[in-house]
A and B are shown apart, each in its own frame.
Chain A
Amino acid sequence: MEQTLLISNILLWLLVIGLSVAVLLLARQVGVLHERITPVGALMIGKGLRVGEAAPGFRLANLNGPEVTIGGTQADGRSTLLFFLSPTCPVCASLLPTLRTLVRQENLALILASDGTPDEHIGFIARKGLSDLPYVLSTELGIRFGVSKLPYAALIDAGGVLRAHGLVNNREHLESLIEAEREGVASIQDFVKRGNAQ
């Protein structure tokens, strides 16, 4: 009898550990699947503005230089990439180097936008070496662009028309905004919808 119990116990232990590991691996696989089916592209959230319409005009004080104008026709013919960030958002900070490379490659004007008091941003600008970029603080701007999550980006062409906007969490999302402008699609969802329609 004792022999039977011992063997059954050993077997049960092996099964318990085997099952625990199996559940662990399954949960991981579900996570990987979720990552795969999440659209790789800046996701449009909320209502905010419509792509293809004129972006709202703003004239805002710049922490790093003269006032900046958002919206309206740009004299130098360059599109503007508006990047909404916050000093307390780690993903925003990690995207900054990518953002610089991208605007250089694509010849875009980059404007950083946030809200709050200047004090909390001045330290952030110094730490991240952003003093060469226009940096505006405006709650109104974020509300008009429908920014509910950070980091958020909006692309406005030289004519002042909003070309693409969305939540950007990585390089692919940023590039998808530029791609969206080139292809004339509003967002990754819009692109998928068109593909289905054809």
Chain B
Amino acid sequence: MIDPVIDLVLRGGLAAILGYAAFHKLRDRETFKGQLAAYALLPEGLIQPMSRALPLIEGATALFLLARSEHASLLSAALFLLYAGAMGINLARGRHDIDCGCGGPEGRQTLHWALVFRNLLLAVGAIAVGFPLGARALSWGDYAIAGLSAVAFLALYTALNALIANVPATNRLKA
């Protein structure tokens, strides 16, 4: 059982994250293609089609989450786990310096274990969305709280990403 307000916050937040990810990948397709190739996980022939397909899948998942489609929860969890796995494999290979592709063309965020952990948390949130809703009538106050929470959640999420992106530069200064 999950309270409807928590469900709303999670759906809104995850849809915004996926929607923005799709948006920046579609806006600069060439950069994303390069970032995907740098992960060195796909054969060369698949990079072009996958670089086009992934943002579309992300965008569709965001819409499914908002439309409360039945499988949106599993689909979004699968996406977050897929990315976590791809980053984990490259970190295990010792390729810390490739761009993670999460921040768009200006993002310049290199891989870090914190990003894998972040994606696992997002996947947990995505799975929680799939739980049955608690039966409770929502008042205007509940919607207000859901909206405010989503704003706070997204601001903190972006802040944490910015902090993770700063980690390599901070380490260089310490060295």
Scoring A26, A34, A37, A90 by chain B CB atoms within 10 A of each residue's CB, the highest score goes to A90
* B165: A residues at CB distance < 8 A: 31
Closest chain A CB from B89 CB (angstroms): 15
Name the contact of A89 in the complex, choosing from B30, B38, B152, B162 (C-beta under 8 A).
B38
Q: Give chain B residues whose Cβ lies under 8 Å from the Cβ of A26.
A: 159
B69 within 8 Å of A by Cβ?
no
Residues B162 and A28 in contact, CB atoms below 8 Å apart: yes
Q: Are B152 and A16 in contact (CB under 8 A)?
A: yes
Contact of B155 among A21, A30, A89 (CB under 8 A): A21
Number of A positions contacting B (CB below 8 A): 23
Q: How far does the alpha carbon of A106 sit from the alpha carbon of B159 in the complex, in Å?
A: 43
Chain A residues numbered 19-37 whose CB sits less than 8 Å from any CB in chain B:
20-21, 23-24, 26-28, 30-31, 34, 37
> B155–A24 contact, CB under 8 A?
yes
Q: How far is the CA of A28 from the CA of B159 in the complex (A)?
A: 8
Distance in Å from the Cβ of B100 to the closest Cβ of chain A? Answer: 13
User: With A21-B155, A27-B159, A34-B170 in contact, is A13–B34 under 8 Å at CB?
Assistant: no
A120 at the binding interface (Cβ < 8 Å): yes
- The answer to whether A90 and B162 touch across the interface, beta carbons within 8 angstroms, is no
User: Nearest chain-B residue to A93 (Cβ)?
Assistant: B34
Residues of A contacting B155 in the complex (Cβ-Cβ under 8 angstroms): 17, 20-21, 23-24
In the complex where A13-B148, A17-B152, A31-B166 touch, is A23 in contact with B99 (Cβ < 8 A)? no
B162 to A24, Cβ gap below 8 A?
yes
With beta carbons under 8 angstroms apart, the residue of A87, A88, A149 that contacts B97 is: A149
Residue B37, interface by CB 8 Å: yes
Q: Does chain B have a CB within 8 A of A3? A: no
- Distance (Å) between the CB of A92 and the closest chain B CB? 9
Cα-based distance from A120 to B40 in the complex (angstroms) = 13
Tell me which residues across on chain A come within 8 A of B99, comparing CB atoms: 90
> Is the CB–CB distance between B31 and A90 below 8 Å?
yes
Kindly state whether residue A105 has any CB partner on chain B within 8 Å. Answer: no
In the complex, chain B residues 110-148 whose Cβ is within 8 Å of any chain A Cβ = 145, 148
* B82 part of interface (Cβ distance < 8 Å): no
Asked if A38 is an interface residue, CB under 8 A from chain B, the answer is: yes
Q: Which of A79-103 contact B (CB under 8 A)?
A: 87-90, 93
- Asked if B44 is an interface residue, CB under 8 A from chain A, the answer is yes
Is the Cβ of A31 less than 8 Å from the Cβ of B162?
A: yes
With a 10 A CB-CB cut-off, give which of B30, B97, B159, B172 has the most chain A CB atoms: B159
Cα of A28 to Cα of B31 in the assembled complex, Å: 22
Q: CA A21 – CA B37 in complex, angstroms?
A: 34
Question: Nearest Cβ in chain A — how far from B52, in angstroms?
Answer: 16
Chain A residues near B152: list those with CB within 8 A.
13, 16-17, 20
